[in-house]
Amino acid sequence: MGKRWQVEKKNEHYYKSAKKENYRSRASYKILQLDKRFKIIKKGDKIVDLGAAPGGWSQIALEKIEETGMVLGVDLKRIKPFPEENFQFIQGDFTQKEIQDKIMEKIGGRANVIICDAAPSLSGIKDIDQLRSMDLAENVIKIAKNIMEFRGNLLMKTFQGPGYQELIKKFKKEFKIVKTTKPASSRKASSEMYIIGLGFKEK
């Protein structure tokens, strides 16, 4: 099955397109499609990319903000450096307060946009994995409440299942506009969904 999956992956449209266009991941097309539809990122934004490795989303974010903004990637795994000087990286667990403090220090204020395509470590047990996914999403919302600029935007991957509707309700408490979608580049068999929060509310 492993070899078959690798063959399917290499033949898959977005995988081949990413190689051709020198994108680090097929996931780059997800954020491209979502940003085109919802206008999440603007030129000059300060962006925090949680769970950034291998860098597919950070790469697109750098294109969108041009030279006047900055992208801060955070991940347990190291990321191959980008040539752009306005990219910074923190290696660590973004659910930990120590790393969250480092994020605030690095961005020098508050983030205009938080993006997160992270997924928890999977056990293979559906119920446990869904709980881990919801816990990760809760952490992302907490971080947003701590470091997000008024009227900022949040784009996050999550998974359908128990807790999903409650998560959407929590988004609606924090953002003026909340949208859920699955971009064309997301695999049809995947239960992943993307939640977009636009216009972080003033506290």
Tokens of 4: 């078959």
Q: How many CA atoms lie within 13 A of 193 on its CB side?
A: 17
The full DSSP string for 170-198 is: HHHHHEEEEEEE--TTS-TT--EEEEEEE
In this structure, the chain runs to a length of: 203
The set of residues, in sequence order, having a beta carbon less than 8 Å from that of 195 and lying 6+ positions away, is 154, 155, 156, 158, 167, 168, 171, 178, 179, 180
Can you say how many angstroms the Cα of residue 51 is from the centroid of all Cα atoms in its chain?
7
Helix (H) or strand (E) holding 154: strand 148-159
**Which residues belong to the active site?**
157
67 DSSP 8-state letter: G
Residues 143 and 118: their CA atoms lie apart, in Å, by 14
